Structure 1
Amino acid sequence: MTLGTTALVTGAARGLGRSIAEHLAGQGASVAVLGRTAESLEPVLAAIRATGARGIAVVADVTDLSAVTAAVADAEAALGPLDLVVNNAGLIDDSEVPFWETDPDRWWAVVETNLRGPANIDRAVIPGMLARGRGRIVNINSGFALRTDPNYSAYSTSKAALLRLSDAMAGPLAERGVYLFDVSPGAVATDMTAGMAMFEGKSDWYDKQRILAAVTAVAEGKVDTLAGRFLHAGKDDIVKLAAERADDIAERDARRLHLRPYGDDDPEG
């Protein structure tokens, strides 16, 4: 199988982002990798080109809209219009303490990277996708968006907000041929997750191949009916969900953020 896709992957210098970028290149996609420094991107760019795929490294801090806009322009000038964007760049709470004990600047840095980053990328890529009437965006989200941990307040806040932002955009975008997904890989072993206190001694990591397969399924257009829904690549067979349960999920308004009513008489129910 060869993907006739031009992709952009953020946070691609290491970890999951690098794995996704190299996987897409191995499937035949042209891949732009985005990171904070050119030096950090050199190994992954070399790996992409070693597959025979076209690739380019673009440098930006995802919280800087002007830098992101320029990076997207450079990527498209080199590789052509973007068909697929994977918003992977992210930070985690490194102090692992309750909110009131966190460093305020670091707390906001996590929120900005995880929320402003995808928002900036989306601002840069969506107008072109809408003009062409096609495109797919994958936000690498997390179960923390739904079930928080007191020691990861910035991360869980940012991921929940990202899920809500996607919820606001996905419907109108899908009507115009652009599909937006929030996909959690589950606890996949990376430099970031391996350093988290809650995962100390963990050995039963989710299989990274499942998130790679999920991104491929999105790129191939196999799961467009699930756009706007929270998907867990570590547990879900998303192709099967799209084929067998998409109508049911839509009818029940499943896999979206909701308040749970306290009873039948709850006015917010």
Structure 2
Amino acid sequence: MTARTALVTGGARGLGAATARRLRDDGLDVTTLDLAGADITADVTDEKALRCLVDDLGPVDVLVNSAGIVGPNEPLLKTTPEQWRRVFDVNVLGTVNTLRTFVPGMRERGWGRVVNFASMAGKDGNPDLSIYSASKAAVIALTKSIGKELATSGVLVNAIAPAVIATPMNEATAPEVLAHITSLIPMRRIGRPEEVAELVAFLSSDRVSFSTGAVYDISGGRATY
């Protein structure tokens, strides 16, 4: 049988890179996409550029939307409209763009798996990270909506909501913010990328068949709902 194919956005480092390695271990033919350092250089905010990749990539069976940015560590009242637009362009509209580009092919073939990266911030709201928190809440709602739309198509769309994970993205997080969100984790440690990648691998496979539009927490016990 031909190996299933996967596209991992934000795949050059962090959770995206860990996910790509894990999916390859499962035998998938994985292509990473990022602004630099990936198999394909592209910006998820540019839907026209993504659509140009469809013919070159061929069928995409698994889409993992890992591309994202944290944005400013600022109190809400100090944030600017430009900061809000930038984070939402990447985290929300970037996810919308890949869905609009690659899900139609999955639906035509009658099988597909989409995993969107949300965050515990999107459920709880992190202080001084209002923009990031709101953008990840939007990803959660987006996942629930399209999951219902595609529920009978064979294409399953789920999200994961990690707590703080040891990735390059968090290197720019203010130490006091990082200390606060780590203190909320009952396991008293931050997560490892390979732990998150294991959950993504499950949601990308035939092992999940009766779950769509769901949010899977991986939070060391932080999740409260």
TM range, normalised to the smaller chain?
0.7 to 0.9
Instruction: Identify the structure with bigger relative contact order (alpha carbons < 8 Å, sequence gap 6+).
Output: 2
Q: Distance in 2 between matches of 1:112 and 1:136?
A: 23
1:68 to 47, 50, 53: 50
TM-score by length of 1: 0.73
1:132 corresponds in structure 2 to 109
1:53 corresponds in structure 2 to none
Stretches of 4+ aligned residues off by more than 4 angstroms = 200-203
Q: Distance in 2 between matches of 1:180 and 1:168?
A: 9
Deviation at 1:90, TM superposition (A): 0.2
Do residues 89 (structure 1) and 67 (structure 2) align?
A: yes
State the superposition RMSD in angstroms.
2.2
Superimposed CA distance per residue, residues 100-124 of structure 1 (whole angstroms, 9 cap, x where no aligned partner): 3124323211111000001000000
Do residues 5 (structure 1) and 4 (structure 2) align?
A: yes
Deviation at 1:58, TM superposition (A): 1.9
Residue identity opposite 2:215 in structure 1: F
1:122 to 86, 89, 99: 99
The 8 Å contact of residues 108 and 154 in structure 1, kept in 2 or not, is answered as no
Q: Please identify the structure whose Cα radius of gyration is greater.
A: 1
2:40 corresponds in structure 1 to 58
What percentage of residue pairs aligned between the two structures are identical? 33
Q: Which moved more, 1:115-124 or 1:205-214?
A: 205-214
Deviation at 1:3, TM superposition (A): 9.9
Deviation at 1:62, TM superposition (A): 0.6
Q: Distance in 1 between matches of 2:55 and 2:162?
A: 29
Do residues 199 (structure 1) and 184 (structure 2) align?
A: no
Q: How do 1:172-183 residues align onto structure 2 when only pairs under 5 Å count?
A: 172-183=149-160
- Secondary structure at the aligned position of 1:145 is classed as helix
The change in CA–CA distance for 1:3 and 1:91 in structure 2 (over 3 A counts) is farther
The 8 Å contact of residues 5 and 219 in structure 1, kept in 2 or not, is answered as no
The 8 Å contact of residues 45 and 89 in structure 2, kept in 1 or not, is answered as yes
Do residues 189 (structure 1) and 174 (structure 2) align?
A: no
The 8 Å contact of residues 138 and 215 in structure 1, kept in 2 or not, is answered as yes
Give the gaps of 5 or more residues in structure 2. Answer: 183-187
Residue identity opposite 1:112 in structure 2: D
Give the gaps of 5 or more residues in structure 1. Answer: 42-56, 237-254, 256-269
Q: Distance in 2 between matches of 1:19 and 1:88?
A: 11
The 8 Å contact of residues 58 and 75 in structure 1, kept in 2 or not, is answered as no
Residue identity opposite 1:106 in structure 2: Q
The change in CA–CA distance for 1:3 and 1:174 in structure 2 (over 3 A counts) is farther
Deviation at 1:200, TM superposition (A): 4.4
- Secondary structure at the aligned position of 2:128 is classed as helix
The 8 Å contact of residues 115 and 158 in structure 2, kept in 1 or not, is answered as yes
